[in-house]
Amino acid sequence: MQEHELYMKRCLDLAALGAGKVSPNPMVGCVIVHNNQIIGEGWHQEYGKAHAEVNAINQVLENYPAEADKLLKNSTIYVSLEPCAHKGKTPPCADLIIRHDIPKAVVACRDPFKAVNGRGIDRLTNAGVSVIEGVLEEEALHLNRRFFTRVKKQRPYIILKWAETADGFFAPDNQKQQWISGKQAQQLVHRWRAEEDAILIGKNTAFIDDPRLNTRLWPGKNSKRIVLDRNLELPKSLNIFDNSIETIILNEKDTTIEGSTKYIALESFDFYLAESICYQLFLFDIQSVIIEGGAKTLNLFLEAGIWDEARIFVSNSKWGQGLYAPTIKQSAEEKIVLGNDVLSIYYHL
């Protein structure tokens, strides 16, 4: 089993390279082993492109052109997620494994997507492939927690993010912008933005901070910007209206499109607002959202119990007054020191 875990750990490391690039597909890594030696590996690199198994098998074919068929017929294929059994944007990976006569497959976890969910494994076993399941399953489920949340709960994976002072303040009480976290934390936030599908803020944050909500401090894609503006009161001079990034304004007045800005009218801002937001974003194929503020918006999701992860920076500075930060009544799973800040990570129990 230790040998299986070693190669599955490599699959998970490879899969993570697809972060921010494959949504709404899951991140998947694949390793092909012959006589305790990796002869091919790959990962799902971009949505709509070749899956991990395809890339790994192609690497074997390219690196061992004369003996690839023989090698594959005596190898074990490791995959961090059940191989697909349906034709989507690419052919079924289970059929590819069968076609190359790979005799053994080790799978971390099943794919809950209804077009797969056990069918890939069934197809392999019915073709005579020996399948081992559940190797590093917990780690695989955690890696693709966004995908599993979307499939099982039919909503995006919700990440709450904020910074607070050592004495628990979130923002000044004079409606002026004031930084709390340091440079390392700010760069990390831009990396997170590149890994998720969307960033969501409320009207007051958009107006007071005038954020660009891009990834200028990290070499990655810009996520969609989501803004709550019930009565469409935000001035068009703000950075969120610069047409540089697809932006969705959730409101109660109008549904229209202006350049890269989409205005979507929700049925009501008074009842089940967090649920309505999640359902609308699910319809847009948005798999994960970072909610960056303000306090009213963060508390909206906390009070509704609709959140999956919270990332909170606590600085060593003290203000003595201001608007109090939201609170989470559970212990942090992880704490990381970043300069003068401490990052606490929570997973919703």
Q: DSSP character for 18?
A: G
Residue 198 assigned as binding residue? no
334 is in an annotated binding site: no
* DSSP letters for 258-276: ETTEEEEE-S-SSSSHHHH
CA distance 242 to 246: 10
Confirm or deny that 205 is annotated as ligand binding: yes
DSSP category for residue 49: S
CB 31, CB 10: distance < 8 Å: yes
Beta bridge partners of 251: 265
278 is in an annotated binding site: no
Contact 200, 24 (CB under 8 A): no
175: which 2 tokens?
A: 């409606």
Q: For tokens 């020996």, what's the residue?
A: 130
- C-alpha 83/C-alpha 117 separation (Å) is 10
**Of 5, 41, 46, 53, which one is the catalytic site residue?**
53
The answer to whether residue 41 is catalytic is no
150 carries a ligand binding annotation: no
- Residue reference for tokens 């390392």: 184
Q: Annotated binding residue at 213?
A: yes
Strands 309-315, 341-347: pairing is: antiparallel
Positive or negative: CA dihedral 169, 329, 288, 253: negative
Query: Is 84 marked within a binding site?
Result: yes
Phi, psi of 29 (to 5 degrees): -125, 155
Q: Within 10 Å of residue 63's Cβ, how many Cβ atoms?
A: 12
For residue 70, give the 3-state DSSP assignment.
helix
Is 90 annotated to bind a ligand? Reply is no
Is 179 annotated to bind ligand?
yes
- Strand segments, DSSP code E, in the chain are 29-34, 37-43, 76-79, 104-107, 130-133, 157-164, 169-171, 198-202, 224-228, 247-251, 256-258, 261-265, 288-293, 309-315, 323-324, 334-338, 341-347
Q: Could you list the active site residues?
A: 53
Residue ranges for the binding site for Zn(2+)? 51, 84, 93
Task: Cite the annotated binding site for NADP(+) by residue number.
Answer: 163, 179, 205, 209
Q: Residue positions in the annotated binding site for substrate?
A: 193, 213, 216, 292
